Structure 1
Amino acid sequence: MLYLRTAESRGHADHGWLDTHHTFSFADYYDPSFMGFRSLRVINDDWVAPRRGFGTHPHRDMEIITYVLDGQVEHRDSMGTHGVIGPGEVQRMTAGTGVRHSEQNTSDEPLRLLQIWILPERPGLEPSYEQKRFAPEERQGRFRLLASPDGREGAVTVHQDVALYGTLLGTGDEARFTLAPGRHAWLQVARGSGTFNGVRVKEGDGVAVSEEQALTLIAETPLEALLFDLA
């Protein structure tokens, strides 16, 4: 069973410096039908103006993943971590018992990123940070593991029964994935268009998957997407 969450149906807010679309309920956008999917709580598609960003603010008891599409974001936090994240890099921050951080676009170019929140396996985890780069050729034509509970295959470690995969497809290319019995999936199309098990998808669309095993994503135009394998 597949359910298409179209880009147009998402929540939207334009703050001038930040143009953002919310796949699930977030901040002032509330839809009781879209509070998340399984342990996946937030997917925000953020466009941040040059030399602007999110000032220092707190988080707790959340696994936060940042996936940059264009530009770069500078991260600083109360753990003393400082990092710059660009396209092809994945940042994971465990907020746990509490952390404060800022995210700034320090360049003269626009920044686009996907901000992802996942509910942790339990509250009160020790805050931590991780950042890794995945070269385009690693994701080309297949679903490449980016985050998992055990950090296998060089993925970042997320404290929940979730595996996150990324793919880059050229026109006409396809990527296949087999979902284990009893598992669920969410596909998020970052850019491009194609079909997902026969369902037409485009930039900003999401697809919830249950009671399916064989998944096939075919690109009609160059396509970038994330796939969440969820308990």
Structure 2
Amino acid sequence: MIRIHRAAERGHVDHGWLQARHSFSFASWYDPRHMGVSALRVINQDRIAGKRGFGQHPHDNMEILTYVLKGRLQHMDSMGNHAVIHAGELQLMSAGTGVVHSEINPGDEPVELLQIWLLPNQQNPAPRYAQKQFPRLPGLHCLVAPDGSSEDTLPIRQDARIYRGILGAGESVQHPGCEDRVIWLQMITGSVQVGDETLEAGDGAEIRQSHALMLTATQDAEFLMFDLP
């Protein structure tokens, strides 16, 4: 089963300095058909104007990932972390018992990013922070994995894996299926063929099936694949 959420159907919020597209219900945008999938609760595609951003605000008991697509983002938090996340870099903030943070665009040009939230599988652990630049390799590569499962990925407090797919036109990748898992695909650029469906930039798809999943790029493409409980 494939259920597609087209890019144009996402929620759109215009704050002037912030242009946000919501794949799932978030803040003032609510759609009961799109409340998240499994542990995946938020995918926001944000465009933040220069010298603007999100001031100090709190979170708790949420796994929060930021994938910067263009530009750079300055991070500060109550754990004492001060960092700049550059394009292509992935940040993970495991909020646990609670953390206060800010995310500001320090440059003059807009920064574009995906903000991703997943529900954790444990409550009230100590908060923690990590970020990592992954090489842009073709194919499908795991970026985020369950805590303790790999030293080459960011550790998440959930039975979930996040893969980045980078394919040239005509290239394919296969992901093994499992009847008790849920897949969410989030397109970033280009287009891919999944079964009889074509997904384009900004589209998302929920996939539930037990057999192997084949994806073929019809244009040069980048996407995220979420393997969820």
TM-score (norm 2): 0.96
For 1:188-207, what aligned pairs fall within 5 Å after superposition? 188-207=186-205
Q: Which amino acid aligns with 1:172?
A: G
Match of residue 218 from structure 1: 216
Quote the offset at 1:213 in angstroms.
2.7
For 1:150-189, what aligned pairs fall within 5 Å after superposition? 150-152=148-150, 154-189=152-187
Taking only the aligned residue pairs, the percentage that are identical comes to 46
**1:146 aligned onto 2:143:** yes
Task: Name the stretch that deviates more: 173-182 or 204-213.
Answer: 173-182
Q: Which amino acid aligns with 1:72?
A: R
Residues 15-67 of structure 1 show CA distances to partners (whole Å, capped at 9, x for unaligned) of 00000000001000111221110000000000111111111111111000111
SS in 2 for 1:8: helix
Quote the offset at 1:211 in angstroms.
2.1
**1:97 aligned onto 2:97:** yes
Match of residue 227 from structure 2: 229
Structure 1 unaligned runs (5+)? Answer: none
Quote the offset at 1:151 in angstroms.
4.5
For 1:78-117, what aligned pairs fall within 5 Å after superposition? 78-117=78-117
Quote the offset at 1:218 in angstroms.
1.4
Match of residue 37 from structure 1: 37
Quote the offset at 1:205 in angstroms.
0.4
Cα RMSD, aligned residues only: 1.1
| Contact 1:51–1:104 (CA under 8 A) maintained in structure 2 | yes
Quote the offset at 1:152 in angstroms.
1.2
* Cα distance in 2 between the residues matched to 1:167 and 1:88: 13
Q: What is the aligned residue count?
A: 228
Task: Name the stretch that deviates more: 184-193 or 169-178.
Answer: 169-178
4+ residue runs over 3 A deviation: none
Quote the offset at 1:88 in angstroms.
2.1
TM-score (norm 1): 0.95
